[in-house]
Amino acid sequence: MTSNHERREGSRAQRAARHGGVDAGPDDPVVGAREKKILMLHGINHGMFGKRDPKQYGTVTLAEIDARLQALGGELGAKVISFQSDHEGAFCERIHQAYADGTDAVLINAGAWTHYNYGIRDALAILTVPIVELHMSNIHAREPFRHHSVFAEIVRGQICGFGVDSYLLALRAAVAAVPKIIAA
């Protein structure tokens, strides 16, 4: 039986085929490495960061979060592509696009969708790349309905409670989880 992790990461040959090279494995040197492509999915109400509930989320805006991710991505050899939507269908379509466009890893802060949205969970389950769930607030120290994530069993890991640093920690984790590829 294949574990969730094995299923999500795919075989070495499948990963290599998606990236036009040969999977080098976690300890092999990278030859002809290319910039990693990381998709950052911002969920419902995140366009209101900076205005919405400053006690939980601070005053940082979504644009400021994205700028910090871009800067750190550059240092880590990764291009971060950000997408935000308040519409489930658009969110799922962007996840489907990530499956087809060579995305290497996904960061997701789905907001309230985290706790109940099985449509987004099923879209994420299609992906074969590392997924890191993140939240600025500590969802386990908030209202009881926020303690459960419908994504938990399909993501590589979850980072929460560190404010904007949750995004940066998640990016570091995602980049580290991307298999090393040798150019063919």
Catalytic residues, by residue number, are: 57, 135
How far apart are the C-alpha atoms of 74 and 80, rounded to whole Å? 8
Task: State the DSSP code for 181.
Answer: E
How far apart are the C-alpha atoms of 161 and 98, rounded to whole Å? 27
CA distances from 98 to 11, 61, 140, 163, 166 (A): 18, 25, 29, 26, 22
- Report strand pairing: 36-42 vs 21-23: unpaired
Q: Residue 182: phi, psi to the nearest 5?
A: -100, 130
- Report strand pairing: 21-23 vs 181-183: antiparallel
